[in-house]
């Protein structure tokens, strides 16, 4: 018995003129049906625990299901419980599979039958045209923005390893940190790679000046923890920090001195 057969039976039971108690008992029986032969043997006390109904109510509910043609009951003959079988459209709802019969082949998971050819697996696509086109357009847009802002595109600016080492070393010397340039595999660390990209987008002098400025602002404060490559060399942060280098220092505004001999007069409503 499969789920589709049980669902078919439940729909028929729902459409039948049954009491709420009969519907509860029918659902309890359907949930206990054996998948091999379509029967079950729940006792009345077991059905009472499943439904919260009394045993006399369960007997009346079973009789109603039998009268509606939805249930067959084989009363016990030497057993302590009865056998229940679901009936759909006047026929018992049982499994099509006979006991001892081999399981039917699963068309999805079973091995291919001899003589049948499995369709060839398509060759993997080497590139996603949508993603590839997007990356191409994005790259061209970044190059145009770099040229319009007076910066050289990243791919046209060569950054030497010594430049990256100088920037990371400068940060370590100023902030008292110990960030590495290469990992154990001999490749640039994520922080060093971010520094290389910022040098390529701006220039080494601007990056060094940005480090000096942030060290002056943050060292010795609670923001000193952000004196690290992950913060300083993030693209959006670096653009902001380097842009601050050209800003004039903020001058606190002060009120002009009062003219000599002027007396203070509080404001009042006329």
CA separation for the pair 123, 112 (Å, rounded):
21
Residues 6+ apart with CB under 8 A from 194: 229, 230, 233, 234
pLDDT given for residue 7 in this prediction: 86
Residue pLDDT, tens place only, 172-218: 999 999 999 999 999 999 999 999 999 999 889 999 999 999 999 99
pLDDT given for residue 147 in this prediction: 55
Residue pLDDT, tens place only, 120-176: 555 554 444 444 455 666 667 766 665 555 544 444 468 899 999 999 999 999 999
pLDDT given for residue 88 in this prediction: 72
CA separation for the pair 160, 140 (Å, rounded):
24
pLDDT given for residue 194 in this prediction: 93
Name the least confident of 41-45, 117-121, 251-255, 263-267: 251-255
Q: What is the dihedral of CA 193, 197, 199, 203, to 10 degrees?
A: 180
Looking up tokens 């996603």 gives: 128
Which one of 3.40.228.10, 3.30.200.20, 3.90.1150.10, 1.10.10.10 gives the CATH number of domain 3-92? 1.10.10.10
pLDDT given for residue 102 in this prediction: 44
Q: What are the CA-CA distances from residue 86 to residues 138, 161, 201 (Å)? A: 64, 79, 75
Residue pLDDT, tens place only, 233-255: 999 999 899 988 874 444 444 44
Residue pLDDT, tens place only, 7-27: 888 888 888 899 999 999 989
**Averaged pLDDT, 62-80:** 82
Q: What is the number of alpha carbons within 13 Å of residue 246 lying toward its C-beta?
A: 5
Domain residue limits, the chain = 3-92, 145-244
DSSP-derived 3-state class of residue 39: strand
Residue pLDDT, tens place only, 89-124: 645 544 444 334 444 444 444 444 444 444 555 555
- Confidence category of residue 74, pLDDT binned at 50, 70, 90: confident
């Amino acid at each position: 018995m499969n789920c589709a057969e049980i669902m078919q039976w439940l729909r028929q039971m729902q459409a039948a003129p049954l009491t709420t108690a009969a519907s509860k008992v029918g659902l309890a029986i359907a949930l206990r049906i054996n998948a091999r032969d379509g029967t079950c043997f729940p006792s009345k006390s077991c059905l009472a625990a499943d439904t919260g109904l009394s045993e006399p109510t369960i007997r009346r509910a079973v009789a109603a299901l039998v009268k509606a043609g939805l249930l067959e009951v084989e009363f016990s003959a030497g057993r302590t419980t009865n056998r229940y079988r679901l009936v759909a459209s006047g026929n018992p709802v049982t499994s099509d599979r006979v006991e001892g019969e081999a399981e039917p082949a699963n068309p999805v998971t079973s091995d291919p039958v001899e003589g049948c050819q499995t369709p060839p697996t398509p060759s993997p696509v080497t590139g996603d045209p949508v993603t590839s086109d997007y990356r191409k357009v994005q790259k061209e847009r970044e190059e145009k923005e770099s040229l319009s802002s007076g910066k050289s595109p990243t791919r046209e600016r060569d950054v030497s390893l010594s430049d990256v080492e100088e920037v990371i070393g400068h940060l370590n010397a100023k902030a008292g940190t110990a960030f590495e340039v290469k990992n154990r595999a001999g490749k640039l660390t994520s922080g060093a790679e971010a520094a290389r990209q910022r040098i390529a987008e701006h220039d080494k002098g601007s990056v060094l000046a940005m480090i000096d400025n942030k060290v002056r602002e943050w060292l010795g404060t609670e923001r000193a923890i952000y004196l690290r490559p992950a913060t300083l060399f993030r693209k959006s942060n670096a653009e902001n920090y380097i842009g601050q280098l050209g800003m004039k220092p903020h001058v606190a505004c002060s009120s002009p001195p009062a003219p000599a001999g002027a007396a203070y007069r509080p404001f009042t409503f006329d």
